[in-house]
Amino acid sequence: MLTYEAAKEILAGCGQEHLLKYYDELNDSERADLLSQISLIDFSVLDNLKEENNFTASRGKFAPLGAVTINDIEKNHEKYSEAGIKAIREGKVAAVLLAGGQGTRLGFDKPKGMFNVGINKELYIFQCLINNLMDVVKEAGEWVPLYIMTSEKNNDDTISFLEEKNYFGYNKEYVRFFVQDMAPSVDYNGRIYMESKSRISISPNGNGGWFSSLVRAGLLSEIKEKGIEWINVFAVDNVLQRIADPLYVGAVICSGLQSGGKVVSKASPDERVGVLCLEDGVPSIVEYYEMTDEMRTLLDENGELAYKYGVILNYLFSVDKLEMILNNKLPIHVVEKKIPYMDENGELIKPDKPNGHKFETLVLDMVHMQDSCLAYEVDRRKEFAPVKNATGVDSVESARELLAENGVEL
């Protein structure tokens, strides 16, 4: 157990002494709790606030990457479908649902998967995803193991909700949960926020840590025992998400490439999505804000956008490669967020606009650790309906419209 003196020293070393400001006012158990939080925090993430550590400054040379297009996929439908279904039947494919985020933009204080997108009936985001996965289970005649990543903040709610709803008909024997790590949140001056006199403001550390958290939870041995070779990682918020999609799995297997990423054609050069491309000859995702005007508008020999394929957070990784890169360090992104905090009067404030930074690693950076990646094009109106915001772009409204367009009863 960390002593008060040791904690003070650690905090002095990184300019965060204020975390102990109320120590004298706390009772014994609150004191122990606070010291334990301090002992668990990796304060080195704060170094990422320094300009010289901003990794975007050190990006390599980008080049466009072509995709297997919707047309190509249609032409090879039978071949891909056969290979994908075979792999699923042989139990070689699992899915990982990234549901550890806090969904601050949506402004819903429960796990995002518990959000009801229905209009005349209940239709929860988790339900949409499970319904989509059930299509594959029915086609393959085999359950797909589903691993759900939660965070300390939403784990209990997620599990009790899915239990209460009987996993929306999914076989719970095939469902596992694991909890991701946390990182501190800071104000614009790099001072770590407090949520109360004894609680430090910490939040999930981004979706990039999913594999290491899964390993730490002891699930890798199970994955290997079951003979799972491919993991389809996907986000909670895309209600049209196809999961363990046999065509996609089959296309990646037939391509002989090491990984896959589902992409959509960008709606316009300025669309704010990350683009799957090459960086120094290996796959990479360039964020929209990292692209120069020239990259954004560059045309290929067919007059189409050269950097055309936006990612939708649906990747296929091989377990072998994931194990090989397990100890590779992912870059840490400093992201602006709305962070609840305790003010000088000891009151908890829930800000309505961003008030500081969180530190996150991102699954998209794992793509850059792959030797190769198949960009697999899908129709955005059929497979991309993210619920990020309450209204406007990528919102509950736009997702409802797309669900209805795809024949889902709301």
Q: Catalog residues that contact ligand UTP under the rule CB under 6 A.
A: 98-106, 112, 149, 180, 204-207, 235-237, 313, 360, 388
Closer to ligand UTP by CB, 61 or 329: give it: 329
Closer to ligand UTP by CB, 185 or 259: give it: 185
Q: At closest approach, how far in Å is the CB of 226 from ligand UTP? A: 23
Q: At closest approach, how far in Å is the CB of 301 from ligand UTP? A: 35
Q: How far, in Å, are 111, 167, 171 from residue 146 at the CA level?
A: 17, 11, 10
Closer to ligand UTP by CB, 111 or 250: give it: 111
The shares of helix, strand and coil residues in the chain, as percent rounded to the nearest 5, are 40, 20, 40
Q: Which residue is nearest to ligand UTP (CB)?
A: 101
Give the separation between CA 368 and CA 359, rounded to whole angstroms.
19
Q: At closest approach, how far in Å is the CB of 159 from ligand UTP? A: 15
Q: At closest approach, how far in Å is the CB of 138 from ligand UTP? A: 25
3-state SS assignment for residue 272: coil
Closer to ligand UTP by CB, 181 or 278: give it: 181
Q: At closest approach, how far in Å is the CB of 136 from ligand UTP? A: 19
Closer to ligand UTP by CB, 104 or 395: give it: 104
* Residue whose token pair is 């102990």: 20
Q: How far, in Å, are 166, 217, 220, 250 from residue 323 at the CA level?
A: 33, 15, 9, 22
Q: At closest approach, how far in Å is the CB of 202 from ligand UTP? A: 11
Closer to ligand UTP by CB, 101 or 260: give it: 101
Q: At closest approach, how far in Å is the CB of 242 from ligand UTP? A: 15
Closer to ligand UTP by CB, 31 or 388: give it: 388
Give the separation between CA 305 and CA 64, rounded to whole angstroms.
9
Q: At closest approach, how far in Å is the CB of 397 from ligand UTP? A: 16
DSSP 310-342: EEEEEEEEEHHHHHHTTTSPPPPEEEEE---EE
- At position 368, the amino acid (one-letter code) is H
CA end-to-end span of the chain, whole Å?
52
Q: Are 98 and 207 in contact (CB under 8 A)?
A: yes
63's enclosing H/E stretch is: strand 62-64
Q: How far, in Å, are 98, 159, 405 from residue 163 at the CA level?
A: 18, 6, 30
Closer to ligand UTP by CB, 200 or 305: give it: 200
